[in-house]
Amino acid sequence: MNRSTIVIAAGLSVLVTSPVWSDQTFSSNKTDFRIETVAQGLEHPWSLAFLPDGTMLVTEREGRLRQIENGNLVREPVKGLPELVASGQGGLLDVVLHPQFTDNQTLFLSYAHRNSDGMTTRVARATYNGEALEKVEVIFEALPRSSNGRHFAGRMVFDRSGHLYVAIGDRGEMDRAQDNRDDAGGVHRISTNGDATPDNPFIDDSRTNNTFYTYGNRNIQGMTLHPDTGEVWSHEHGPRGGDEINIIRAGNDYGWPKVTYGIDYSGIPISDKTTMDGVTDPLHYWDPSIAPSGMAFYTGDLFPEWQGDLFVGALRSQKLVRLTINDEQVIEEEDLLTNLGERIRDVRMGPDGALWLLTDSRQGKVYRVVPAE
């Protein structure tokens, strides 16, 4: 089925031209839906951002920033990206827009970077002119570096006050998540210039780097704002078991590796505790692991039945998880798209009222989730 539609929502327009519809109708406990393929042939797409003019930006982990214009994937990548490395789990990761993007055309990228000291996660700020990045400046770098290619994290989100939250993984060295002089294993809150925000919880603590907002986080792969409270919600990979959903609150220790619902990949226990004093328990966890990636609350009009539900992509389990939340309690969990056979890397709430998904493969896709009718 081919058609061209223009959807206008909240002052934003999204043009979708000649989508490729799935022949299959998928069922949720609340409604039926279909998916359309908006773009394909992307190499491990990682993040998706919606521009005010309807253009979409997609990061490819291999180191390219791509544009989708008028429903078509632009062949030539955006020029002017910062120097980065695609190695192991690292590469070009998240892309988020400045809260005043319409006025300043500024965006932020997270990515892996290598030098003679090893690899780390960096954040750069840049101006997007429609074809290329200009005025590229590194504003944050997690130190110290290390040689392995694991657990870069890299998810970012702006809160309603314009603070940027940056997730940094433990880099596969678990004890670093409890050493707050080491940037690994936590969420950092910075200004758009990269400075620690003045009211950060450890701003006056000489034992802790002042950009830290939380610590004890293993490898956050999804962050989003709660539509009502404005709080930052996240999820992170556990080891074998123990994937978590958390609400990111100032100064909290989320316990890794002192407490966990998982075990080491070797089968050896990491901790005999799942909770302890001074540690924030997860709001929800999975055991066995689903390898969550990407998350978004549904706030659109296309699916009133899903209003307020939280959607989480899964890599290992190749599915989309829908969670109904009531008073910070998961009261319903449903697995969707289990027969699609795709690793879901990112989940975004679109300005058109649709839910948008990225699939993680060398021939990755951009999917748009729409009502069955």
| Catalytic annotation, residues | 151
- Which phi and psi angles does 306 have, rounded to 5°? -95, 0
Report the Cα 19 to chain-centroid distance in Å.
Answer: 25
User: What letter represents residue 205's amino acid?
Assistant: D
Both tokens of 255, joined, read: 């316990």
- Give dist(CA 59, CA 266) in Å, integer: 33
DSSP 27-82: E-SS-EEEEEEEEEEESSEEEEEE-TTS-EEEEETTTEEEEEETTEE-SSPPB-PP
Asked if 62 contacts 22 with a C-beta cutoff of 8 angstroms, the reply is no
Cis peptide before 77 (omega within 30 of 0): no
DSSP 286-327: ESS---EEEEEE---SS-GGGTT-EEEEETTTTEEEEEEEET
What separation in angstroms does the CA of 94 have from each of 90, 134, 294, 339? 11, 18, 10, 27
Asked if 136 contacts 129 with a C-beta cutoff of 8 angstroms, the reply is no
